[in-house]
Structure 1
Amino acid sequence: MVNATTKLGGTASDIVVAKVAHGLMSMSWVPKPVSDEQAFEAIKAGIDTLPAGVKMILNSAQFYGPGMSTHNLEIVSRFFEKYPEYAERTFLMVKGGHNPDKLGLDNSAANLRRSVDICLAALRGKKAIDCFQPARIDKAVTIEDTVRTLAALKDEGKFAHIGLSECAAATVRRAHAVHPIAVVEIEVSPTSYEEETKKVIATCAELDIAITGYSPLGHGLLTGNYNSTADIDPKDVRAHLSRFQEENLRHNLVIAEAIKSLAAKKGCTPAQLCIGWVASLGDKVIPLPGSARKERNLENLVGGDVILTEEEKAEMAHILATHPVKGGRYGDDDSNLWG
């Protein structure tokens, strides 16, 4: 049974959720999407760990499928078609704003409306969208206009709450001034803890907004499961990430080994240690690891109950200070990621 819980923010501040969320991307945005049977088992197992009244955050997107398709949302739809009683036990976050015509981001009012409708069509009424988020901040549209569009769609009953993703602290503040924001999704891990990350966390704490920290395991880098680039499928998205390139990976595996040693002393897995570390960054900071297998999801959820001592936090800080991560979160220069 999962013990650690928290509440969301904004218009969702009365909703109690597990301290660790479940990202669904790896079920479909991979070289070979998993079977419904495997996906359903993983989703259901996580929900089954929760006590009554606590919801599991499920994180999906308009484009988490081959060819930027709605494949992932279709898995979600089929899950709730089979298990309708689980709909009220989950909080479904959906990222959108993808324009299929432009093959890219478009947060114009017309495209956000189309994006939401595409997502709703894929879900087929089997599960409501609890929180809709533009996947990135479109610099061609002011954040104020973006949030006004989202507020109008929310008022029409398209979804219940507004979220943001990959946004700077100043953007969060401007958005929240237009309409309360329930959740902000940013990358947070021991190797992705930039100055702007810290500012976003502090701003959200001030405004009582929850944070879902995606990739708390550094896209798998910190799990201890990789020894070289030979362990990465060439079709896997990680094969293109800066930190997984040969020279960078050799450097970064030293960090992974140090975290593995610390986890062994702690009596938990490296994944659980990293998830516990992210969870320790704030009462409403919710680690968002992805998993496509039941056993991995259950392992991740236990990470929310891992409490690091001050000495262990200091040791983690020492590891990262003496051996800083090499490479950016995606490319070599991530300065344009913060919207």
Structure 2
Amino acid sequence: MTHATTTLGGTASSVVVGRVAHGLMLMTWRQDPIPDEQCFEAIKAGIDALPPGAKMFLIGGEFYGHNLATTNLEMIARFFEKYPSYADKTFLSVKGGLVPNSYEPDCSAANLRRSVETINEKLRGTKRLDLFQSARVDPNVPIEESIAALVELKKEGKLDHIGMSECSAASLRRGNAVHPISAVEIEISPWSYEEETKTVIATAKELGVAVAGYAPLGRGFLTGQIKRPEDLPEGDFRRSLPRFQEDAMRHNFAIVDALSEIAKKKNVTAAQLSIAWVSALGQHVIPIPGSSHAKRTLENCAAGDVELTPEELDEINRVIDSADIQGERYRTAHTLWG
């Protein structure tokens, strides 16, 4: 079965991608990275399910490894080394722009150059850096300077398109005024749907920017398969997040139960319902679930074809509006809406 497609924005508005993207973070951001073959099969499954001419939107990170290592990029390079014909079937976005070995953003021209050059070095020529995005907005560097620095790197041929991540609608507007932004990545799911989320989605539509919605499954919580912190592997970064502490998880499971009931009536999985809900926020909104199993990748991709009726959307939105979610998304506020 081939799946629905959409297009990216900005300078990539002619790029046709699958309706559902594929996040690669948790393949490697763990104490024991998942074996290559399992990762490769999961990546290939989604690509093979796309219609001819469409690309799989893949999202990786310079620092998506245990202790912020470059493990993710090295795994991606090995994938394209083994399957070179898949390079043209994918659109690769990589997050960078942090201080090395730190969660702090550094979007100065010098560090963005270091980050982009590190990414290309680790990809070893196996795949173009289709899109680069700073993982966070740097409060110490005007967004105009950061985007201008990326324009220079683009002119040098080190990347093809520019994205933004975890930014406010105001920052998106300012960045897009310097150079068209192809995609803005923000967290979107039934348990992460803030007022600013809605404003960014609306602003992106106005500006012709695609929205990449990461963690549409609430980092796996909304699947119903993670009930306690012990259900996460040792070293999994989710264990450090406020929402994944035991009391918060116990409290927040109410939204999982409510969404699971709606999914059952629809004859889809709870995961598919969440992905379909994110897709329904606009043709320009592309959910990015992560998956390291081929079967799960196919289930996620199929969710892009699920159409929710107005009545079903109303029911889901009532659940979201009445949910009293405990725990912040991150440990520190500076990571949000820069």
TM-score by length of 1: 0.97
Distance 2:103 2:54 in 1: 37
Distance 2:233 2:32 in 1: 11
Q: Residues 144, 78 of structure 1: CA spacing in aligned structure 2 closer, same or farther, 3 A cutoff?
A: same
What is the CA-CA distance between 1:296 and the residue it aligns to?
Answer: 1.2
In structure 2, do the counterparts of structure 1 residues 140 and 6 end up closer, same or farther at CA, with 3 Å as the change threshold? same
Partner of 1:302: 302
Instruction: State the secondary structure of the residue aligned to 2:107.
Output: coil
Deviation string, structure 1 residues 105-161 (Cα, Å, up to 9, x no partner):
211101100100100000000000000001100011000000000001001100100
Q: Which moved more, 1:73-82 or 1:272-281?
A: 73-82
Matched, 1:338 2:337: yes
Alignment of 1:11-90 (within 5 A): 11-90=11-90
Give the residue type in structure 2 aligned to 1:82.
K
Matches of 2:69 and 2:160 in 1, distance apart?
Answer: 23
Q: Distance in 1 between matches of 2:191 and 2:326?
A: 9
Deviation larger for 156-165 or 66-75: 66-75
How many residues in Structure 1 have an aligned counterpart in Structure 2?
338
Paired with 1:233 and 1:42, the residues of 2 have a C-alpha distance of 19
The gaps in structure 1 that reach 5 residues or longer are none
% identity of equivalent residues = 55
Q: Partners of 1:310 and 1:55 in 2: how far apart? A: 30
Superposition deviation, residue 242 in structure 1: 1.3
Render the CA deviation track for 1:231-250: whole Å, top value 9, x for unaligned: 23342222111112122111
Of 103-112 and 189-198, the range deviating more from structure 2: 103-112
Q: TM-score, normalised by structure 2?
A: 0.97
Aligned amino acid, residue 114 of structure 2? R
Query: SS where residue 104 of structure 1 aligns?
Result: coil
Aligned to 1:205, the other structure's residue is in SS state helix
Q: After TM superposition, list the pairs within 5 Å mapping 1:211-222 onto structure 2.
A: 211-222=211-222
For the residues of structure 1 that align with 2:56 and 2:151, how far apart are their CA atoms? Answer: 24
The answer on whether the counterparts of 2:136 and 2:335 sit within 8 Å (CA) in structure 1 is: no
Residues 207, 294 of structure 1: alpha-carbon distance in 2 compared, 3 angstrom cutoff:
same
2:144 equivalent to 1:144: yes
Instruction: Report the Cα offset of residue 289 of structure 1.
Output: 0.6
The amino acid that maps onto 1:66 is H
Q: Distance in 1 between matches of 2:128 and 2:57?
A: 13
103 and 219 in structure 1: CA distance in 2 versus 1, 3 angstrom threshold: closer
1:312 maps to 312
In the TM superposition, 1:95-114 aligns within 5 A as 95-100=95-100, 104-114=104-114
Contact 1:2/1:18, CA 8 A, preserved across alignment: no
Note if 1:210 corresponds to 2:210: yes
**How far, CA to CA, are the matches of 2:322 and 2:9 in structure 1?**
36
Quote the RMSD (CA, aligned, Å): 1.3
Looking at structure 1, the residues matched to 250 and 279 of structure 2 have their Cα atoms a distance apart, in angstroms, of: 28
The answer to whether the Cα contact below 8 Å between 1:6 and 1:284 also exists between their aligned partners in 2 is: yes
